[in-house]
Structure 1
Amino acid sequence: MDRRFLQRSPASRSNFIHGQDLSWMGNLTSLTDFVLESNMFTGNIPETFGKMVKLITFNVQDNQLEGHVPLPIFNISTIRYLDLGFNRLLGSLPLDVGVKLPRINRFNTLFNRFEGIIPPTFSNASALESLLLRVNNYHGIIPREIGIHGKLKVFALGDNALQATRPSDWEFFISLTNCSSLRFLDVGKNNLVGAMPINIANLSNELSWIDLSGNQIIGTIPEDLWKFNKLTYVNLSYNLFTGTLPPDIGRLPRLNSFYISHNRIDGKIPESLGNITQLSYLSLSNNFLDGSIPTSLGNFTKLEVMDLSCNSLTGQIPQEILAITSLTRRLNLSNNALIGSIPSQIGLLNSLVKMDMSMNKLSGGIPEAIGSCVQLSSLNFQGNLLQGRIPESLNNLRSLQTLDLSKNSLEGRIPEFLANFTFLTNLNLSFNKLSGPVPNTGIFCNATIVLLLGNKMLCGGPPYMQFPSCSSEDSDQASVHRLHVLIFCIVGTFIFSMCCMTAYCFIKTRMKPDIVDNENPFLNETNERISYAELQAATDSFSPANLIGSGSFGNVYIGNLIIDQNLVPVAIKVLNLSQRGASRSFLSECHALRRIRHRKLVKVITVCSGLDQNGDEFKALVLEFICNGSLDKWLHATSTTTSTSYRKLNLVTRLHIALDVAEALEYLHHHIVPPIVHCDIKPSNILLDDDMMAHVTDFGLAKIMHSEPRIQSSSLVIKGTIGYVPPEYGAGSQVSMDGDIYSYGVLLLEMFTGRKPTDNFIDGVTSLVDYVKMAYPNNLLEILDASATYNGNTQELVELVIYPIFRLGLACCKESPRERMKMDDIVKELNAVKKACSAHATK
């Protein structure tokens, strides 16, 4: 959230005063301005503060206060500015708060743990201009007359659990039309479902910030959105908006950020969009946009991020796009239908960090000019029609961490210089026409980094690659000729076999009734099921080359499917039905996944339940593909060679990943009914996308919690993985949310020590939890993973991040389930750590 809208009081702050007894301050009964903002006060707000009956300003935000706010403070009728934000305060607001604080101008509980409903009496506070309730646990509906007095300028209710499921629940929007000075509107990341009762364009012309993201809002984007000529930020992502982008969208001269991703917007990208020269962030991904990319987008002079991925865009990549020299963070044109060659102007993007043009129909060679993009850390041209050799100019891109040129028609030798790219954690040259010797040094000796599958003319290389030995050039040419003949014969035989097999399956399925899985309600949803034949084609007949993982109940393959007219990479989890419990695992995942909707949980796309080519039962889940693999592979080296990806996870990245996982579990535990217990939280079940956001996966052991008692099986089956299973499961206790919390605590300790719970410890220590306890709190730097680097003062590092993280991990791993923290409290704690870390970094 933009801090400009907090309008902090000018009184003294940021003194970094540590916690002490403040109760004596309650004797200052004539005090009018009480400001302790941005210090390090801890503990509760003393009850004696309620004696300061002449207060106008009460500002304690940006501390580490906790507990309930004393009710007498809400009775001080003279208060105009009440700032409680960025603490760990909890409880619910008094229902009569708007009556008891008739002069309130700014009411701020940002980033706390408040819960309960938003009191309808806020409509009685006729002077209220700023209502800041973001990132709490408020629930229920938004009061219908909350803006009736027309004074609201800042309305920030995002990141809560507020609901709107009936038309009457949306009436608060009607009252907001009275607020002629409304500048900031944020109701994003709630549970608002359906259509707004008004056109957004009916709101105040003063609006500069609109955030409706992360809901399920339907309708169209108003064509007269341009009337808000002061808009700087628009976020409508992750909703169900339809229709087209307004043709006059370019009439927003101050717009800095425009996010419309993950909706159902179709039609063309308006030419006028290029008129917004102040734009820094543009995301139109995951919609149904078609037509060509307008050349007018080349007018952007301040754009840092452009994401047009996962649409149906056609035509060539405009040269003008590649001349936007301000693009520094990300250019993503992947998963479209773009054609033609890659323009040589690509070399102008010499400050860009991430470039993704994968899954298009781009042809020609990789331009030599790519060597000018010296800041690239990620380059993805996978799944195109590129030809020719890998250019020598790639030697300049020594910052690369990910290079994916797979599934093209590249030929020639693998450049030797790639062996010396020490930062590379993922080099994928699979399924090309590369030939000649494979380098046998550097990164090519690490099996976790390099993929060369499907290049049948390669030879030599490290033994694990199992390529044939290299021979003379003449012999190589003869081998190539023989290989062509062999391929021709194999392809002919394969086509003939497939025809016979298809006929056989057709006859057999006509004679054998279809298997109907009446137990699985997910299969009866609107999601269109997919056939075995489609999955077989998508994975090259479940080729080992496409195998990306194995679990307790089956294998996971990568494949490409046409979804909504786009060729999309997916993860296909095939159940091994001969494994005991596999069918039950399939049902568990279906039951869990059919109800969840959270961006940090891996999404299910569709399912397959039927017969394979032999007429045997076949079940598979088709999931979204998360490109950066599991957290386990990033945390731990899998060979004697140190993993470069392991070094890449600095302290801040680990903190963000920990928060992502916590938010996913908080959703499962507290935001769906009935709750879901995952039962197998561990690094290998956490996937990282290209922005290093974590996504929790594998619900094969998940259990849906019900309020009624269940009959427990007489046989003891411990759910989970050794080292992460809570101790009470071993004693026969039923699964619970407290069990997930224990597993999460172990995960947290593993992430920041770099030690697995199954490691062998010394000095009589038998577990990771005890290993941390021995070092806590005075010797934490000794057990901190050396790869978790951080730029900052060591003592501040301990106070801001290390101590809170390990304290939190141990609190989650308490022996007694009742003593463990709840997931919503864990999320608040981690947000506080993240905020403190961010504030320190910006000093």
Structure 2
Amino acid sequence: MHPSNDTDQQALIAFKNTINNPLQYLNSWNASNHFCTWYGVTCSHRHQRVIGLNLTNQKLTGFVSPYVGNLSFLRFLYLDKNSFTGKIPSEIGRLHRLEHFSVSNNSLEGEIPAAISNCSNLVSFRVSYNNLVGMLPSSFGSLSKLELFSISKNKITGEIPASFGNLSSLTQLYGGANDLTGRIPDALGLLKRLKLLAFGENSVGVNQFTGSIPVSLSNGSNIRYVHLGYNQLSGKVPSFEKLNKLGVLVLSGNPLGKGESNDLSFISTLLNATNLESLALHDNNFGGELPESFKNLSNTLTRLYVTSNQITGRIPTEIGNFVNMQDFRVNDNKFTGTIPADIGKLKKLKFLDLSQNRFSSKIPKSIGNLSLLVYLYLSENNLSSGITSTLGNCQNILELNLSHNILSGPIAREIFSISSLRTVDISQNQLNGSLPVEIGNLKNLGYFNVSDNNFFGEIPSTLGSCESLEFLAMKGNSFRGTIPSTFSSLRGLRILDLSHNNFDGLIPIYFEEFNFLSLNLSFNDFDGKLPEEGIFKNASVFSVVGNAKLCGGILDLKLPKCIAEHSKKSRLSFRLKILISVAAVLLGVISTTLVFLVLCCLRRSKRVPISSDSPHNSLWNVSYQTLLQATNGFSAANLLGVGSYGSVYKGTIGQEGTSVAVKVLNLSKSGALKSFVAECEALRNIRHRNLVKVLTACSGVDLQGNDFKALVYEFMANGSLEDWLHTKDSSTGEEIQSLNLLQRLNIAIEIACAVAYLHLHLETPIIHCDLKPSNVLLDDELVAHVGDFGLARFLSTDAQSFTIHQTSSSLVRGTIGYTAPEYGMRSELSTYGDMYSFGILLLEMFTGKRPTNDMFKDSFNLHNYVQDSLPNRVEEIADPVLFHNRQVEIITSTRSHENHGFMGNHKIEKCLISVFRVGVGCSVTSPRERMNISDVVNELHSIRDALSVVDPHLLELNFAPGKLPQDHKMEAQTLADNQNFGMKE
């Protein structure tokens, strides 16, 4: 081997010796192979010298060996997305031929070596997402060929060297989320090729640039993207007249402007920017009116944010010119006048926020033309008259906030036809009338606030159909009557406020079982005995003050004791007593006869109904013949799936043609009968919105006289979670259907709530024993329902043990991959086992990988796969579908290795890190170290709440309109980090 070639080989071996190689890709780096064939190594054809080393995303740990500096012919070095620690070796400066250097997404420390400025051929330099410190070397200004410089997400301090104005070839400069200070150098305006300048953040950032925006930037005729958000820039915004290629301008979160009339005059200098798409001026100090020139901005504008300024005047009627507008936010200003009718011409609009202004008059009917609208916020204005019925045309709305206005009249019934609604806030108005019964159509409603209006009448019982409700506020009206019994179905309620109305009757005892409820029933006319169990043991979570007729309750309330009523019989006349006695005898005879007849019928049919409170009473007492007909003879065309103990068919029963799922047990299989009995017993007395509803059970004989047993369930239109996670087209290998990030998060929460109900909220807790995607079914709204209780077991009544001692060595403990490891050692069943299964299920949902994937062997499993990748390599292990639609092509012709995505990508990663930590915490080997289900539910809610409140625009990009988090601090969504302008390298 030529001596120089030997130098390359020795340098590579020295590089390998300083790192760990968990994926074993570097096993090929040995003497039996020529080093030019080693994984990740590229050699020149003529001299067989190493010109490239690409080890991106290999889970490598250790440090970067200084011997890499001996690869004297090296042109590119890519070590991104690993876990390297230590410093960047200064020996990199020896590589005079080096063109591309990229070590982003590692854990590197120390300063950027000034010696790298000796790499005079350097074209791209990427060190973002590390822990680098120190100041930027001024000597980098000598890199005349440098086109891309990326240092985002580090801890770099000091000022930007003025020498950077010498980087004549620079096209992209990323520096957000560091500790940079001082002024932005005027010299940057000398960079004629500059297309992207990003020194900002999407929320309160770390950089603290001061002074004014350099006037010299206005000379950058090639600039297409400017992000200077959330610094301390002040003064007047310069002219952008020469920036005719500008597509994105973000100046948010700076104290720009003085609250004066000419603060926005620079907008007229943007008229030449014919490709302008996004303009973010929110969270500044801009005053005055929108200039007349505003209406002449490019109709390519899709996003306009001027939230939280001091802008006055009217919105121009020419707003209808912006036919491509998707996101229009002008909330928290001082706008006056009417909402222009021409706003109805913005047919692509999805997010409209006009709240916290001084708009008056009516809500324009033309808003009904915005068929794609998802978020509509008109709160805290002076809007009057009624709620326009045309809102019913906006069938994609998720959140509607009309609160704090002076709206009057009844609620337009058409609103309750918008099945997508998750949030409705019409509080603090002058609305009247009764609540329409159509409110029951809003099956996914999570937040409903009608407080402080003039509503009257009784609460419609249909409100109990809104089983997703978490926040229900109706205080300060004139509602009367009793609390509907259907409210017992609202088990997800966290806040219920019915105070300051005219409700009467008893306070329902079922509220005792609402463990997470904050209840306010004060200042009504309730009477009778106050419940004393459940939430009524804690006076801090409920209020009943101002109800003079209540008695009993815990001592802290100091209510009068309940006095037993005197027997009414003593006050009856003798004749009435006689009549009652005769009636009692007759009723007894009739009851005895009926019981005898029913027992005879049951003996004949051998049918076993499960629950007497099923809503489908017409389905009761189905026979084998009925099920045979309903499933078309149990035909293959109706087969939905085959399980361990039987097959499931789709059926149609009753005159209304109700769809059901019929599980027919294969009694020839060992354990099938035991599974049937277990499922009947488990489902007999439980009911939860996230459990599959069993309608009836049939136990009889078939046409051949063989025993026949079947369970009939509510049909789930969207099949199982397994189908949505793993169904692929056989020809293309692509997923036929997929769930986005928020849908998966909602489903995870719903599964967790079901498990919490089974473990914590039953008199005798239940262990499911077989949590997995195929046992989670999705209804037509993609709401999760846990099913298949064939392996379920009741726990000991000792609430401290929460275990079941095994009595059979052959007991089935679940499904391979999801079963807790202690079960393999014949340990007793416990809630810890369910938590392990839930953890694996959660990891599978967000990685897209089954725990039985071929890659998981020996001690390497799904738990370890995720744990080893936290927190820096989340994007590598996450299901790629979760990042669909998250990237936006930057408005530049340059194509490099940069990942041009919005800063929303980082939000997604943060969400996934939190979710994966929950999954890992649930699936640790030691049972008692696993997270408990209460903490899991709270943590998942917090993750979802943070995602929805912090970044609603992220919801728009990544979440289908089927699901929306139920945290409803809607005004908080106008914060700067809502915006989707940031760039990630």
TM-score by length of 2: 0.48
Q: Percent identity?
A: 25
Write the mapping of 1:338-737 to structure 2, written as runs, cut at 5 A: 338-441=335-438, 442=440, 448-462=446-460, 465=474, 468=478, 652-654=740-742
Q: Deviations over 1:41-99 (max 9, x none)?
A: xxxx99x99xx9811122233555555445543431110111222x2231234432333
Match of 2:161 among 158, 167, 173: 173
What amino acid does structure 1 have at the position aligned with 2:252? Answer: S
What secondary structure does 1:58 align onto? strand
Q: Does 1:262 align with 2:253?
A: yes
What amino acid does structure 2 have at the position aligned with 1:832? Answer: E
Which moves more between the two structures, 343-352 or 415-424?
415-424
Q: Distance in 2 between matches of 1:373 and 1:91?
A: 52
Change in 2 beyond 3 A, CA 1:355/1:767:
farther
Match of 2:95 among 93, 101, 117: 101
What secondary structure does 1:218 align onto? coil
Q: Distance in 1 between matches of 2:124 and 2:52?
A: 14
TM-fit CA distance, 1:802:
13
TM-fit CA distance, 1:130:
1.1
Q: Deviations over 1:526-565 (max 9, x none)?
A: xxxxxxxxxxxxxxxxx99xxxxxxx9999xxxxxxxxxx
Aligned match of 2:231: 239
TM-fit CA distance, 1:836:
4.5
Change in 2 beyond 3 A, CA 1:109/1:95:
closer
Q: Distance in 1 between matches of 2:32 and 2:190?
A: 43
Q: Do the aligned partners of 1:106 and 1:128 also contact (CA within 8 Å) in 2? A: yes
Aligned match of 2:836: 773
Aligned match of 1:318: 316
Q: Does 1:210 align with 2:197?
A: yes
Q: Does 1:228 align with 2:220?
A: yes
Q: Do the aligned partners of 2:359 and 2:382 also contact (CA within 8 Å) in 1? A: yes
Aligned match of 1:88: 82
Q: Do the aligned partners of 1:153 and 1:181 also contact (CA within 8 Å) in 2? A: yes
Change in 2 beyond 3 A, CA 1:53/1:107:
farther
Q: Do the aligned partners of 2:691 and 2:785 also contact (CA within 8 Å) in 1? A: no
TM-fit CA distance, 1:384:
0.5
Change in 2 beyond 3 A, CA 1:826/1:388:
same
Q: Distance in 1 between matches of 2:78 and 2:418?
A: 51
Q: Do the aligned partners of 1:148 and 1:178 also contact (CA within 8 Å) in 2? A: yes
Match of 2:138 among 130, 140, 144: 144
Q: Distance in 1 between matches of 2:215 and 2:689?
A: 53
Match of 1:24 among 23, 28, 46: 28
Q: Does 1:830 align with 2:817?
A: no
Aligned match of 1:662: none
Q: Distance in 1 between matches of 2:883 and 2:741?
A: 16
Structure 1: state its 5+ residue gaps. 1-17, 37-44, 472-489, 491-542, 545-551, 556-577, 579-635, 659-681, 684-720, 722-751, 813-819
Match of 2:68 among 63, 66, 73: 73
Aligned match of 1:534: none
Change in 2 beyond 3 A, CA 1:444/1:655:
closer
Change in 2 beyond 3 A, CA 1:651/1:346:
same
TM-fit CA distance, 1:799:
8.0
TM-fit CA distance, 1:27:
5.0
TM-fit CA distance, 1:155:
0.8
Q: Deviations over 1:588-622 (max 9, x none)?
A: xxxxxxxxxxxxxxxxxxxxxxxxxxxxxxxxxxx
Q: Distance in 1 between matches of 2:134 and 2:48?
A: 32
What amino acid does structure 1 have at the position aligned with 2:301? Answer: L
Aligned match of 2:731: none
Aligned match of 2:546: none
TM-fit CA distance, 1:326:
0.9
Q: Deviations over 1:252-306 (max 9, x none)?
A: 1111111111111115222222331211111110000111113433332222211
What secondary structure does 2:315 align onto? coil
Q: Distance in 1 between matches of 2:209 and 2:395?
A: 45
What amino acid does structure 2 have at the position aligned with 1:233? Answer: Y
TM-fit CA distance, 1:810:
7.2
What secondary structure does 1:387 align onto? strand
Q: Deviations over 1:642-679 (max 9, x none)?
A: 9xxxx999954359999xxxxxxxxxxxxxxxxxxxxx
Q: Do the aligned partners of 2:392 and 2:416 also contact (CA within 8 Å) in 1? A: no
Aligned match of 1:190: 178
TM-fit CA distance, 1:448:
3.9
Q: Do the aligned partners of 1:434 and 1:458 also contact (CA within 8 Å) in 2? A: no
TM-score by length of 1: 0.55
TM-fit CA distance, 1:392:
1.3
TM-fit CA distance, 1:339:
0.4
Comparing both chains, which one has the higher relative contact order based on Cα–Cα distances under 8 Å and sequence gaps of 6 or more?
2
What amino acid does structure 2 have at the position aligned with 1:154? Answer: L
Q: Deviations over 1:349-399 (max 9, x none)?
A: 111111101000001111111011000110000000111111111110010
Q: Distance in 2 between matches of 1:281 and 1:553?
A: 51
TM-fit CA distance, 1:833:
4.0
Aligned match of 1:120: 114
Q: Tell me the C-alpha RMSD between the 2 structures.
A: 5.1
TM-fit CA distance, 1:334:
0.4
TM-fit CA distance, 1:769:
6.8
What amino acid does structure 2 have at the position aligned with 1:79? Answer: L
Change in 2 beyond 3 A, CA 1:100/1:222:
closer
What amino acid does structure 1 have at the position aligned with 2:73? Answer: T
Aligned match of 1:55: 50
Structure 2: state its 5+ residue gaps. 1-21, 464-473, 482-499, 501-521, 524-537, 542-555, 557-687, 694-713, 715-720, 726-737, 750-755, 757-781, 794-802, 804-819, 821-828, 888-985
TM-fit CA distance, 1:146:
2.3
Q: Do the aligned partners of 1:800 and 1:833 also contact (CA within 8 Å) in 2? A: no
Change in 2 beyond 3 A, CA 1:284/1:412:
same
Q: Do the aligned partners of 1:655 and 1:834 also contact (CA within 8 Å) in 2? A: no
What amino acid does structure 1 have at the position aligned with 2:741? Answer: T
Q: Distance in 2 between matches of 1:65 and 1:288?
A: 48
